[in-house]
Amino acid sequence: MSEHGTGRHARPGSGIPAPGTRPDVPGSPVNTATGLRTADGKVAASGPADDDGVTRDGSDQATGRTATEERGTGLMDRLRKDLRNPLFLQGYALMINTGITAVLGLGYWFLATHLYTAAAFGEGQAQISAMRLFSSLTGLAFAGALARFIPVAGRRTAEFVLRGYAVAGATGLVAALGFLLTLPLWGSVYADLGGLGPGLFFLASVLVWTIFTLQDVTLAGLRNAVWVPVNSLAFGLVKMGLLVALAYALPQGGVFGGIFVSWILPTAIALIPISWLIFGVIIPKHVKNTEVSAANPPRLREVGRFLAGDFPGAFSILLILYLVPVIVAGWLDDAPTFGYFSIAHTLGSMVGLLAANMAVSLTVEGSFNAAQLAQSVRNALRRTFLIVGPVIAVVVIGAPLILGVFGPGFAEAGSPLLRLMAIAVLPQTVIEICLSMLRAQSEARKLALVQIGMAILVLTSIAVLFPHFGIAAVGYAMLGSQLLVALLIFPNMRRVINHGKSSQVAAG
């Protein structure tokens, strides 16, 4: 790790118990007489003081600390240990980024509804949704390849990243151009995009957002995901400030309105310092640190084979996130009800991103150190469930209160959907970790099979269930489909984990 990460070179995917420790709690010393320990590794017993100075009532004779203080120290020790592990450090950074993005994003739209007219708000939201559709579908579909090959690109890292930007950007531009050429088919809400000026500005926005999206993945692939939440925080705050300022200067909707401009202008500005950080600082250090381990960068043919399997599957998964709202809007043909759906769907998707973020970190660490992949998979599964479990519980219990912030109608109509999508994150965690494991192994065919299969299941289930359950059908489809896929792929994941355990026993 460079100083932008933990400040030390932690072993990727570390977590194998050291001699004298218990394997179920890595690094926790065990009392050979009792076999008991506390969270921080100290013996948990009752009675006179043991050899380590801990009394049987839980206090520490040497320091005078109580059992509660010991537990607090244990949690801090565990956190410090996690932050020395690149897998957890990158995963935590991306999870924090998800939280920042969610809070600032909802705050941005809350301000927009109060500062702009309903018509301007609707037009601005529509333009941003269209721009993100083409940027995200194409850009994020290349994210798996960047996360997989940046760690092993060696001296060709800068070239590889630039090529990724170029291919993703060109693909997004072609898709957006097709959208502009068929504008009358998409409805009157996009009429403002007609004409040379608005069209060119929209295309430029698609390119900017595509690169902005891929910068996060690039930082994660370079083991510097700690910069991602910093970037998102600065971007979100500037975006909200500009939204307020432009409410008086550009109160209209459309591509040149205050909402769209306040969204895309900070994005374009953010590209400059982050690009300097990536290409001027981080990549040179990455090349130097990996000149031995990545002495033979992957050939273009190898990357192409990976993309041939990963891109169709990743594209299919992204359709679930970005196409479903478009389909639901058409089926409902009712703006207020779609508003209830969109807020619940956005919040549910944010919970799912927590699992996806740790999965990205797993792909990176599995690529850096394939020998530790099984251990990294176990660590990622255990820690992701530990984090998303309480979040899911809060969302399921508090869904009406969470949605009630936006109005009583949101709570009544959106709570079932939000609860179902939150519960679906449990099997989604298994799926995301498995997909990242397959990426680290360059199992392109299996990747495509799992992702395309899940997309077909989800989209078909929504079409079948929607006439009977309304917007909640999306939640039922997500939960049922992801449960089935998780059950089907888990045996393969278990074989990898068990093989890793067997290798460790043999090595020991």
Strand partners, 54: 60
pLDDT 10s digits, 401-413: 988 877 677 788 8
Q: What are phi and psi of 286, to 5 degrees?
A: -60, -45
Q: What is the DSSP string of 90-146?
A: HHHHHHHHHHHHHHHHHHHHHHHHHHS-HHHHHHHHHHHHHHHHHHHHHHGGGHHHH
Distance in angstroms (rounded) separating the CA atoms of residues 74 and 72 = 5
Q: Are the CB atoms for 126 and 189 separated by under 8 Å?
A: yes
**pLDDT score at 480:** 94
pLDDT 10s digits, 438-497: 877 767 788 788 888 999 999 999 999 999 999 999 999 999 999 999 999 888 878 877
What is the residue whose two structure tokens read 């995200």?
A: 136
Residue 72 has pLDDT above 60, yes or no: no
Where is pLDDT greater, at 276 or 13?
276
Alpha helices in 182-299 (DSSP H): 196-221, 227-249, 258-276, 283-289
Distance in angstroms (rounded) separating the CA atoms of residues 157 and 149 = 9
Region 31-43 average pLDDT? 36
**pLDDT score at 73:** 60
Least confident of 193-202, 271-280, 294-303, 497-506: 497-506
Region 80-87 average pLDDT? 54
Domain boundaries of the chain, sorted by first residue: 1-57, 89-298, 300-508
Distance in angstroms (rounded) separating the CA atoms of residues 310 and 120 = 39
Residue 14 has pLDDT above 50, yes or no: no
Distance in angstroms (rounded) separating the CA atoms of residues 483 and 419 = 15
Residue 292 has pLDDT above 70, yes or no: no
Residue 20 has pLDDT above 50, yes or no: no
Residue 61 has pLDDT above 80, yes or no: no
Query: What is the value of pTM for the model shown?
Result: 0.62
Q: What is the DSSP string of 347-389?
A: HHHHHHHHHHHHHHHHHHHHHH-GGGHHHHHHHHHHHHHHHHH
Instruction: Give 227's pLDDT tier (boundaries 50, 70, 90).
Output: confident
Least confident of 211-215, 330-334, 419-423, 463-467: 330-334
Q: Which of 281, 286, 317 is nearest to 435 (CA)?
A: 317
**What b/e string do you get for 275-284 counting C-beta neighbours within 10 Å, with b at 16 or more?**
eebbeeebbe
Report the phi/psi class of residue 483: left, alpha or beta, with left for phi > 0 and alpha for psi in -120 to 50. Answer: alpha
Q: Which of 194, 210, 232, 71 is nearest to 139 (CA)?
A: 210
Q: Are the CB atoms for 445 and 310 separated by under 8 Å?
A: no
- Average pLDDT score, the chain: 74
